[in-house]
Amino acid sequence: MTMLDLKTDELDQPPSAVAPNRIWASLRSSPLALTAIAIIAVWTFIGLTIDLWAPYDPLAPAGDRLQPPNAQHWFGTDTLGRDIFTRTMYGVRYSLPLALIVMFFTVLIGSVIGMLAGYYGGWIDYILMRLTDITAAFPPLILAMCVVAVLGPGIVNSAIALVAVWWPITARLLRAEVLSVKERDHVMAARVNSASDRRIMLRHIQPLCWAPVLVNATVDIGIVIIAIAGLSFIGLGSTPPTPEWGQMIYEGAGRYFNWWIATGPGLAIVTLALAFNFLGDAFQKALDPRRGEG
């Protein structure tokens, strides 16, 4: 029966081909996706323009210490009297770009490894996949902590550490896609037509493999935002007095009567991470309509 519901172009696509206009059409019709995009857009806007309209200096005291939220200080002030609202708004300048950069390199490294393993197979596949298994065998945050411990704390080092532990997922996803796409006849046709291995990988296989990677990477940006905050929270990421969300939460930790110190940055993390989660779900729905509409 589903046969009847499919247009020819849907029948004809390998499941993970990414068609930008179709994705956009699907995203537009989903309120959740639009909300997610709006949240991400607002945070991006804040990050880009905060210098122009920040009510206070994020690094200098703006009034009395430990004020609860009030008309002057919407999110209250911290132990040094700095405005938490201002610091939270500045915080997106660290978390968002850092998460995007981490994801970019994660996808880059993971997809190169997955592509080579999937395309060549044999011992190359074996070695690369065992390497992937070993990396994936450790809990990512714990492994990232070890890497930072070796490199030394700092916001850049924490990003490097996250890339080093995050790539196996992409590698596995891409390898699985490559394995199925490379059996298509058009890849065989390319081989018969003496396309080089590089050309087959880049031109004939790669464009058809992105759907699961895209979905996963989008959801993972949210998780990486949390991980960056987590590393800062335990003192392995940014150093004081940087207005970084994880670190701000640490400053509020244990101060149960000054609940507002952790609340502002906490809300920030929640909104941004959730937005990426929703966006990932929406991508999933857009890329695989049959699985999406449950």
**255 is a contact residue toward another protein (CB under 8 A):** no
Please say which residue, 53 or 194, places its beta carbon nearer to another protein. 194
Q: 213 CB contacts (<8 Å, ≥6 apart)?
A: 107, 110, 111, 170, 173, 174, 177
> Which of 29, 49, 70, 196 is the binder for another protein (CB under 8 A)?
196
Q: How far is the CB of 9 from another protein (least distance, A)?
A: 4
Region binding another protein by CB under 8 A among candidate stretches 90-98, 186-194, 212-220, 249-257: 186-194
Please say which residue, 150 or 193, places its beta carbon nearer to another protein. 193
Task: Please state, in angstroms and rounded to a whole number, the distance separating the CA atoms of residues 152 and 91.
Answer: 22
> Which of 193, 198, 257, 293 is the binder for another protein (CB under 8 A)?
193
> Which of 41, 48, 127, 188 is the binder for another protein (CB under 8 A)?
188
**185 is a contact residue toward another protein (CB under 8 A):** yes
For 165, the enclosing helix (H) or strand (E) is helix 155-181
**21 is a contact residue toward another protein (CB under 8 A):** no
Return the beta strands (E) in 32-104 as ranges: none
Task: Report DSSP letters for 265-281, one per residue.
Answer: HHHHHHHHHHHHHHHHH
Q: How far is the CB of 21 from another protein (least distance, A)?
A: 12
Note whether 166 and 220 are within 8 A (CB).
yes
**Number of chain residues interacting with another protein (CB under 8 A):** 28
Helix, strand or coil, per DSSP, at residue 127: helix
